[in-house]
Amino acid sequence: MKLIRISAVRYANTYPLIFGLRKSGIELNADIKIDHPAECARKVRDHEADIGLVPVATIKNITGLEIVSNYCIGADGPVKTVLLLSNNNLDEIDTIYLDYRSRSSVALTRILAKEYWKKDFTWKETGSDFDFSHIPENEGLVLIGDQCYELESNYKVRIDLADEWKKFTALPFVFACWVSNIDLDPGFIDSFNKALAYGVNNIAGAVDFYNEISIMPADILSRYLNKNIEFVLDDKKREAMKLFFEYIDKL
C-alpha cells in the first residue's frame, strides 16, 4: 500500500493533533513530516504531500483542494501566538515586517489594517535569516508560533491578531485546516479524523508527551491549548473562513 504523505505544522498549537496521529498507529499507512505553515502549503501545492495542515489563506490559491477534517487550528479571542509586536503604539507605526512562515497571519494583518484599523503601512517581507528579536522604532512585526512566547517580552506593545479579528467581526478565526489534493479512501479519512479526535480529547497526554521539547512550561502549555486554541472546525469557524476569503478578494 502506498503511504499517504502528511505535512503537519511544527508549533505547539498542533501538539494534540500530532499526538493523536502518533498514537493512533496511522503511521503504518502514512509518512508524517513536520514543517512550518507556509512549507505545508508549498508541499501540498507541489504534490510533495497528499494531506497538509495548511494556512487557510492559501486554500483559494491552490486548485483541487478538499477539506478532509472537522479539526483545525483556530481561536475565538486571544490566541497568544499570532501577534503584532512593536515598541510603538499602532498609530505611530509606519512599517510592518511580515513573518514568512504563515500566509494566513499576513493576510489577516493586511485585512485588519485596511478594514478595521484604517491604516496604511509599508509592508516588508522577511526570510529565514531575519532577526525577529529586535526591530527599529516606529516599525511593527507580525510574528507567529512558539517564538511569540520567546520574544514578546522584547517589545512594549503586543497586539493579538485573533483578538482583533474577534473585535472586528464578532467571529472566531481559523488559521489552518486539513486539506488533501487527492481522492482519499473513505476508510483512511475516517481513521485520520479519529486519530485527530483522540489527540484533541487528550490534551493532558499531549502536554506530557511534548513536555521535554516544548519551550513553554507544562502549565502554560496546558492553559494555552485548553484556553487559547480551538480545534473543532464548526459552523461559526466556517462562516469566519468565508468572510476571510471575501476580504482577501478585496485586498
H/E segment holding residue 71 = strand 66-75
Residue 162, C-alpha cell as written in the block? 485573533
Residue 95, C-alpha cell as written in the block? 512599517
Q: Supply φ then ψ for residue 87, to 5 degrees.
A: -105, 10
Residue 195, C-alpha cell as written in the block? 486519530
Residues 6+ away with beta carbon under 8 Å from 114: 250, 251
Query: Within 13 Å, how many C-alpha atoms sit on residue 85's CB side?
Result: 26
Distance separating alpha carbons of residues 138 and 132, to the nearest angstrom? 15
pLDDT at 88: 97
- Nearest alpha-carbon partner for 7 in 37, 185, 199, 192: 37
pLDDT at 110: 98
pLDDT at 98: 97
pLDDT at 148: 96
Residue 204: what residue type?
A: A
Residue 168, C-alpha cell as written in the block? 472586528
Distance separating alpha carbons of residues 133 and 153, to the nearest angstrom? 10
pLDDT at 235: 98
Query: Within 13 Å, how many C-alpha atoms sit on residue 73's CB side?
Result: 34
Tell me the pLDDT of the chain (251 aa) as tens digits. 589 999 998 899 999 999 999 998 887 789 999 999 889 999 999 999 999 999 999 998 888 999 999 999 999 999 999 999 999 999 999 999 999 988 899 999 999 999 999 999 999 999 999 999 999 999 999 999 999 999 999 999 999 999 999 999 999 999 999 999 999 999 999 999 999 999 999 999 999 999 999 999 999 999 999 999 999 999 999 999 999 999 999 98
H helix intervals, the chain: 15-24, 37-45, 103-111, 147-151, 161-169, 186-200, 203-210, 218-223, 235-250
pLDDT at 1: 57
pLDDT at 111: 98
Distance separating alpha carbons of residues 62 and 64, to the nearest angstrom? 7
What's this model's pTM, rounded to 2 decimal places? 0.94
pLDDT at 242: 97
Catalogue all structural domains in the chain, each as residue range(s) with its CATH number. 4-75+172-244 (3.40.190.10), 82-169 (3.40.190.10)
